[in-house]
Chain A
Amino acid sequence: MNVLQRILPPRLRPIALFAILSLLPAAVRSPYFLHLMILVLLWVAIGAGWNILAGYAGQVSFGAAAFFGAGAYASGLLAVKAGMSPWWGLAVGPAVAVLLAFPFGALTFPLRGAYFALATLALGEIMRHVATIWESLTEGMVGILILRTFASESPYYYMALALAAASVGCVEWIVRSRLGFYLVSIREDQDAAASIGIPTTRYKMIALSLHALLTGMAGALYMCYMGYIDPKVAFSLHDISIMAILVTIVGGVGTAYGPVLGAFVMVFLQEAFRTGGFGALDAVNKALEWRVLDWAIPYIKQAHVLAFGVLVVIVILAMPNGLLGGWARHKGRKRQAAVCSE
């Protein structure tokens, strides 16, 4: 029996994490840090949504951007075109994303494996083109600019926290429910799943809708918070769709807390590269006055996309199932360990 287990039993850990995160804005005053935390929490929600569809139901999506952008644009356009509060977007955005998911799922679910993945990729790209070309509605490449409601970061932080907590709770609930059993069955063998009476198309649709819902809501919140989107930002293949996959893969596919861990790691890693180790490199340079660093620092900061790409490669090669490792319902190993320690 280890000490951690006695002080903080696994059951209470999520509550403890939530408590710490809720108190964070009171403890940390840095808006920059809060900004990063808001991004982390948004990615937790998107990662959780992707995890439901891909990690549990086995339907890999390269199209998170389609739903993220749909949510963001719904929110932004409500403000700019209809003169309503962008906060309506939090309700309308996910609804639009789900409405997009329904016909898309109905058309593409007969496709299996890589075909489905490619269809989602195409959906994201088509949405980006539509948003670029349909200037009368979306302002095209000019993008949409709205005024932020709150000057301070913390209201957004709490909203993102609520969304993230709700998505993780949603996954936790799914794992234990009928839905979870059915989704994992579909992932493992679709025909066998149908043969034990699981309506596979209906449940895949539920998974896709949850993916769209959570991603769309994150998109809407992103719009309200950042105040600016354009097609490149909102429908980005790399920065949204691929990032959604990475967040989950880094943390652990098919685990409830994988995306939480993955979001932390990915957002802070990316930021560390972008800022040269949060300014640490500059500080070291100032202290030591190495010429090499003078020359290298601009390059290192410039290379954050490269670092992202290298990270993709390394992550997949080194830990295809993520930091939290295991597969969903991989209880066998745990039980074995318990037997050994007796």
Chain B
Amino acid sequence: MAILELHSVSKHFGGLKALDDVSLQVEAGETFGLIGPNGSGKTTLFNCVSRCFPLTSGRILLNGRDITRLPTHRVCRLGIGRTFQVVRPLKRMTVLDNVIASALLRARTVAEARTIAEETLEFCGLSAHAGQLARSLPIASRKRLEIARALATQPSVLLLDETAAGLNFTELAEAIDLVRRIRRSGTAILIVEHIMKVIMTLCDRIHVIHHGQTIAEGTPAEVARHRRVVEAYLGASWEAPPESKRHLTS
């Protein structure tokens, strides 16, 4: 069953068509990758789903319910959690308080939220930093705090926006492991990523957009072989020799 459905979603900024008639469906429990070259409209799509700005046309359904016109906080309550590409921790609150603030969405009391928050921090490997101010965290931990904050709202779909960007090798492995564990808990994940290693190892299906339009969708292996995907990443004249796959996966 599709948990998140986008039907012909378009978003225009003035004359610029950032998203043009994009449709996709995320199934329950699956990890769904969204890739595309820089400026292809991935983050725009995220912002449309989490309702940070209104669509030009199209419909978005969550669990069969139309969320196209709901405000951001309502969408979150219905089960969409998101991270931001440029991390936005609540800087002058402690790490624990950051997560308590989001756990309060489902908790009835602050004490209950605190319990949820502590569990979430544990799950994300941030317990050691719980008492620190969020702004004092290094970037890798900030990214994990973003995930922890989104998780604490107990979403049915988690949107991850370039969570792996800027991480070093070890941190990347940890991030992949964290996403795997989230997936095992049954949460559907919609992930935008530039680092192919992350996408290729984590995703069940991948959707490719270019200039705001869908150009391919399929399993990682299918997409990597897709002619238009290779063109979009490497240029139109590329003949797609065997090396192209190495480029994509490196």
Contact = CB atoms under 8 A, between A and B. Distances in A.
Interface string B68-79: 000111101100
A176 to B, nearest CB: 7
Contacts of A102: none
Interface string A152-193: 000000000000000000000000111001101100110111
B94 A332 contact: yes
Contacts of B152: 196
Interface residues of A, number: 26
Contacts, number: 91
Contacts of A200: 73
Contact of B90 (A176, A177, A189, A197): A189
Contacts of A332: 94, 131-133, 136
A182 B104 contact: yes
A40 to B, nearest CB: 29
B77 A197 contact: yes
Nearest to B79: A197
Interface stretch (B95-103, B163-171, B209-217): B95-103
B110 A196 contact: no
Interface string A106-123: 000000000000000000
B153 interface: yes
Given A182-B101, A188-B91, A331 B71 contact: no
Contact of B94 (A194, A196, A331): A331
Contact of B133 (A182, A198, A330): A330
B82 interface: yes
Given A184-B90, A196-B153, A332-B131, A178 B73 contact: no
Contacts of A6: none
Interface residues of B, number: 34
Given A197-B73, A329-B94, A177 B133 contact: no
Contacts of A176: 110
A327 interface: yes
B93 A194 contact: no
Interface string A59-88: 000000000000000000000000000000
B110 A177 contact: yes
A231 B139 CA distance: 53
A195 interface: yes
Interface in B88-136: 88-94, 97, 100-102, 104-105, 110, 113, 131-133, 136
Interface of B: 50, 52, 71-74, 76-77, 81-82, 84, 88-94, 97, 100-102, 104-105, 110, 113, 131-133, 136, 149-150, 152-153
Given A181-B113, A198-B105, 8 more contacts: A177-B110, A178-B113, A181-B110, A191-B72, A196-B101, A198-B101, A332-B136, A335-B131
Interface of A: 176-178, 181-182, 184-185, 188-189, 191-200, 327-332, 335
Question: Which 6 residue pairs of A and B lie closest in terms of their CB atoms, listed nearest first?
Answer: A196-B102, A197-B76, A188-B90, A197-B105, A194-B72, A192-B88
8 contacts: A184-B97, A185-B90, A194-B73, A195-B72, A196-B101, A197-B76, A329-B94, A330-B92
